[in-house]
Amino acid sequence: METVQPPILTSSYYSSFNLRSLSLVLDVITDELLITITASLPFLVELDLEDRPNTEPLARLDLTSSGLQSLGSCHHLTGLSLTRCRHNHQGTFKRVNDMGMFLLSEGCKGLESVRLGGFSKVSDAGFAAILLSCHSLKKFEVRSASFLSDLAFHDLTGVPCALVEVRLLWCRLITSETVKKLASSRNLEVLDLGGCKSIADTCLRSISCLRKLTALNLTGADITDSGLSILAQGNLPIMNLCLRGCKRVTDKGISHLLCVGGTISQSLTTLDLGYMPGISDDGILTIAAAGIGIIDLCVRSCFYVTDASVEALARKQPDQEKSKQLRRLDLCNCIGLSVDSLRWVKRPSFRGLHWLGIGQTRLASKGNPVITEIHNERPWLTFCLDGCEIGCHDGWQFHESGFI
């Protein structure tokens, strides 16, 4: 999608609109843009800006700490999202440092939601300033922050914490110690640690104490089967769980997670086991036999998943009072599947299925008569023959982080 940098408009242009929410996708976010927005929209409550530069922006045409300072004039601002997308150019906000975050946290203490992506020059001190100054902060998301570490969360237990949703994506210095600090927020409902590869079993007991947690992303974490056993023993009502790329988790861990009778085995509806070399038919058979209400299941690039897994899921007869039917199944790049496994997708199996991802498998031939037959039986069923993530409609929906 081509983005266009809008013209900088004067405050008189907006004076009669009294906009409360503004969302823009731009070529480049600049100081001039932020200063114009804040001067023109004094009643702004939510601001969402994303830029997609093709090259490194010039110094005078980029966002700096001065631009962040201008946000302090928006006294009603409660939601802020500033992200630099890396699709076109591997760039970051190199001209914003800790001082910019200090100025932002002092001027916008009423923030309830903060989403920051691509701030590569901001360290623990800058991010901690937001966490400690914005006492009403409920949602906090940081992406690809090279210098964000456990130190940013060191003093979190000493202040009132209203956090409900925390997302720390691809922050390589974050370890289990941060999770232990975040666990002090008993109201936490979403914890997304996708790409934080130093997360280990040591923090899972702290997570298991979060009685309101409904979504957990551990993509690429260094957890093991023993860690999943700890997680299963807690009373956390997790509905969405992502273990994508957890290379030390095996079929045994899935058994620990689902077969001990914990709360999670009753609440789980979305499970992502993609890119896990330790997952085979045994793990999928465990899921089918457990009788849990999985609606979305991803096993993409699990090379030891074969036709037996598809058969087991097809034969599953859910208890209508306790379990929901599988609606979306991602089998992309499961190279162990044969064309014969498609017969299990025919009626009466998979009665609730609405989406099936079979890209990069032997099943993905567009001229396959079995696919045509199934499509005639079930016109509502979407076959994705590309590499899309769960839920696409036209083959164009790819996702960046893997979950939630």
The predicted model gives 168-189 an average pLDDT of 94
How do the domains of the chain map onto residue ranges? Answer: 18-148
Q: Could you tell me if 243 and 249 are in contact, meaning their C-beta atoms sit under 8 angstroms apart?
A: yes
pLDDT score of 402 = 43
Joined tokens for residue 220: 């690429």
Could you tell me the CA-to-CA distances from 42 to 9, 16, 73, 88, 278 in Å, in that order?
15, 12, 7, 33, 54
Rg of the chain, C-alpha, whole Å: 23
170: confidence class by pLDDT, cuts 50, 70, 90: very high
Residue type at position 332? C
The predicted model gives 68-91 an average pLDDT of 90
Round to whole Å and give the CA distance between 43 and 236: 39
Write a three-state SS string for 255-306: HHHHCCCCHHHHHCCEEECCCCCCCEHHHHHHHHHHCCCCCEEECCCCCECC
pLDDT of 234 > 50? The answer is yes
Cα atoms in the Cβ-side hemisphere of radius 13 Å centred on 33: 23
The predicted model gives 125-148 an average pLDDT of 96
pLDDT score of 1 = 47
3-46, pLDDT tens digit by residue?
555 555 554 454 446 899 999 999 999 999 999 999 999 899 99
Identify any residues that bridge with 298 across adjacent strands, giving them in sequence order. Answer: 272, 330
CATH 1.10.10 fits 18-148, yes or no: no
Please indicate whether residue 185 or residue 253 has the higher confidence score (pLDDT). Answer: 253
Mean pLDDT, all residues of the chain = 90
Residue type at position 44? L
The predicted model gives 158-182 an average pLDDT of 91
Which one, of 267, 262, 227, 269, lies nearest residue 247 by Cα? 227
State percent of the chain over pLDDT 90.
76
pLDDT score of 261 = 81
320: confidence class by pLDDT, cuts 50, 70, 90: very low
pLDDT score of 87 = 75
Residue 21 burial by Cβ neighbours in a 10 Å radius (0-12, 13-18, 19+): exposed
pLDDT score of 18 = 85
The predicted model gives 52-67 an average pLDDT of 92
344-395, pLDDT tens digit by residue?
999 999 999 999 999 999 998 767 889 989 989 999 999 999 889 997 754 4
**Chain-centroid distance, C-alpha 249:** 20
pLDDT of 207 > 80? The answer is yes
pLDDT score of 155 = 86
Q: What is the DSSP string of 20-45?
A: SEEEEEES---HHHHHHHHHH-TT--
pLDDT of 86 > 60? The answer is yes
pLDDT score of 161 = 78
Return the sign of the alpha-carbon dihedral for residues 181, 220, 403, 265: negative
pLDDT of 401 > 70? The answer is no
Round to whole Å and give the CA distance between 65 and 83: 15
pLDDT score of 367 = 75
pLDDT of 231 > 80? The answer is yes
pLDDT of 56 > 50? The answer is yes
